[in-house]
Structure 1
Amino acid sequence: MGKIVHAVEINVLSGAAVEPGLHAAADIYRKQTGNQVKIAFATTPEMRRLVGEGVAPDVWIAPPAALDEFATSGRVDAAARVLLGRVGVGVAIRDGARKPDVSTVDAFKRAVLDADAVIYNRASSGLYVEALLQRLGLAEQIQAKTRRYIGTDMIGPLINGQGREIGFMPVVQILNWRGRGLQLAGPLPADIQHHTTYAAAPAPGSAGGLGFVRYLGTPEAKAVFARAGVE
């Protein structure tokens, strides 16, 4: 009699910056294994809060420094960590809006000053943008029109804006919203660009999580992420 193989449910908690590639890779893994992959998204600060609340997914996907932090509390098997790639920051505007010039640092500064609202989140990319605006001497000048949101909550105000709103998000996420309300005005200029690296790691003792993380490290999965814009 053949051995009966039961499907496993794998719960993943991930940063939203790798969402398109992660969904595509998970779909392939489901078809290959029959296992169910359930994905939830959170910012790194939200993950820290969830760790404190005892949340225990099978797989964590976050910047390596965050995974190291979670490993110290026993939530992550650091030895099984797999690098997924890096994601740059882009400038998002709503569909139909005129694209601002953000090709140089000076042009970028003009675009920020001319915008009716400057929108970003409190995730890794948003924290970088906040520091960048301060470094460029813009933060105080645009304080009254700056809007900060939790995670992808910023997308609605961008799509529904009526003026010259600009937002800052991972390029991958902006491209994922093409045809659904957002367009990419351009990546940040090279001189001020910032890349956030993401990695995946299983929870200790989670066989299902370990199997999925190992799949994410395969050439097939890496090609899926690359097609989605993860470098």
Structure 2
Amino acid sequence: MVTPAPQPVSLFSTIAVKKALAEGLCDAFTQTTGIAVEAVYEPTNALLDRIAAGARPDVVIGVTHQLPALGQAGIVDLSTCTPVARVRVGIATAGDVDVDITTVESLITTLTAARSVAYSRAGASGLYFAGLLERLGIAGQVNARATVIDTGFTAAAVIDGRADIAVQLMSEHRCVAGAKIIGPLPDEVQQITEFSAVLGEAAAARREPQAFIEFLTSKQAREAYNLTGMEAADTTPTYHHDRESKVHSK
């Protein structure tokens, strides 16, 4: 009896995990298993819009806190929801530009002294940063000359000279060639976002998507996350109703 060829896995993934997946993990999975991965990389909110319009990927990787609604709608199987990585908000510059963000006070000085700060109002980190500016009392001063990015990577704005400083998730800064990553925001004003992978309801019984979810928690995958600006997460497959204490959603 001829064994049927493996079916490809359709993947919707947040861009925060793109570097680890697109520059190694997906190819490694295919080489090991013979299963192709057909990936779409966009911010979680954009992926949710695609799903709302009818798309049904086999696997979704998104902000953990935003996945339960898909389960409640019968689109994904929440029992398979598996944390894969966590990432912090950070600062990037370009060239020889160097700044101090070691304390909240030095962060405020850096942000208010910059010619322009780039961030994304539509992105998860940008929404958090906009609120942080308000809490720090410098929103008016920074926003008066901010470079607001609609989509994509904010560090591109420091590479082409539109801004001096870029704010985004640390893993997203890693996707921009030439960006100089200064580091994460100080712990006192930091937000950590957790990303999880979950199987689509229709794909939950198929071996290929199941194998891919398992691979995303492998030693090789954890090493890739750590090398691309993220932290490997607790990989216990579980659905948490409340992640509001230390880990926040974006």
Regarding TM over 0.5, the answer is yes
Equivalent residue of 2:141, what SS? coil
Distance 1:216 1:153, change over 3 A: closer
Query: How many angstroms apart in 2 are the aligned matches of 1:93 and 1:196?
Result: 22
**Residue aligning to 2:97:** 98
What letter corresponds to residue 11 of structure 2 in structure 1? V
**Residue aligning to 2:110:** 111
Distance 1:212 1:46, change over 3 A: same
Q: 1:17, 1:170 within 8 Å by CA — same for their partners in 2?
A: yes
**Residue aligning to 2:188:** 191
Q: 1:86, 1:196 within 8 Å by CA — same for their partners in 2?
A: yes
Q: 2:118, 2:154 within 8 Å by CA — same for their partners in 1?
A: yes
CA positional deviation for 1:218: 2.8
**Residue aligning to 1:85:** 85
Q: In angstroms, what is the RMSD of aligned CA positions?
A: 1.8
Q: 1:42, 1:151 within 8 Å by CA — same for their partners in 2?
A: no
CA positional deviation for 1:167: 0.8
**Residue aligning to 1:12:** 11
Greater shift, 75-84 or 138-147, is seen at 138-147
Q: How big is each residue's C-alpha offset from its partner over 1:22-78, in whole Å with a ceiling of 9 and x where there is no partner?
A: 232212111111111122111122123212211221111111111112212222111
Q: 1:25, 1:225 within 8 Å by CA — same for their partners in 2?
A: no
Q: 2:153, 2:173 within 8 Å by CA — same for their partners in 1?
A: no
**Residue aligning to 1:57:** 57
Q: 1:105, 1:189 within 8 Å by CA — same for their partners in 2?
A: yes
**Residue aligning to 2:168:** 169
CA positional deviation for 1:119: 0.9
Using structure 1 for the length normalisation, give the TM-score. Answer: 0.90
Q: How big is each residue's C-alpha offset from its partner over 1:110-168, in whole Å with a ceiling of 9 and x where there is no partner?
A: 11111111111222211111111111011112222122223425343221016x62111
Query: How many angstroms apart in 2 are the aligned matches of 1:170 and 1:149?
Result: 14
What letter corresponds to residue 210 of structure 1 in structure 2? Q
Greater shift, 118-127 or 211-220, is seen at 211-220
Q: 1:77, 1:201 within 8 Å by CA — same for their partners in 2?
A: yes
Query: How many angstroms apart in 2 are the aligned matches of 1:129 and 1:97?
Result: 24
Query: How many angstroms apart in 2 are the aligned matches of 1:156 and 1:85?
Result: 24
Equivalent residue of 1:112, what SS? helix
Q: 2:157, 2:166 within 8 Å by CA — same for their partners in 1?
A: no
Query: How many angstroms apart in 2 are the aligned matches of 1:229 and 1:142?
Result: 26
Equivalent residue of 1:78, what SS? strand
Runs of 4+ in 1 over 6 A off after TM superposition: none
1:125 matched to 2:125? yes
Equivalent residue of 1:61, what SS? strand
**Residue aligning to 2:76:** 76
Gap runs ≥5 in structure 1: none
Equivalent residue of 1:140, what SS? helix
**Residue aligning to 1:45:** 45
**Residue aligning to 2:243:** none
Greater shift, 113-122 or 151-160, is seen at 151-160
Identical-residue share of aligned pairs (%): 26
Q: 1:26, 1:37 within 8 Å by CA — same for their partners in 2?
A: yes
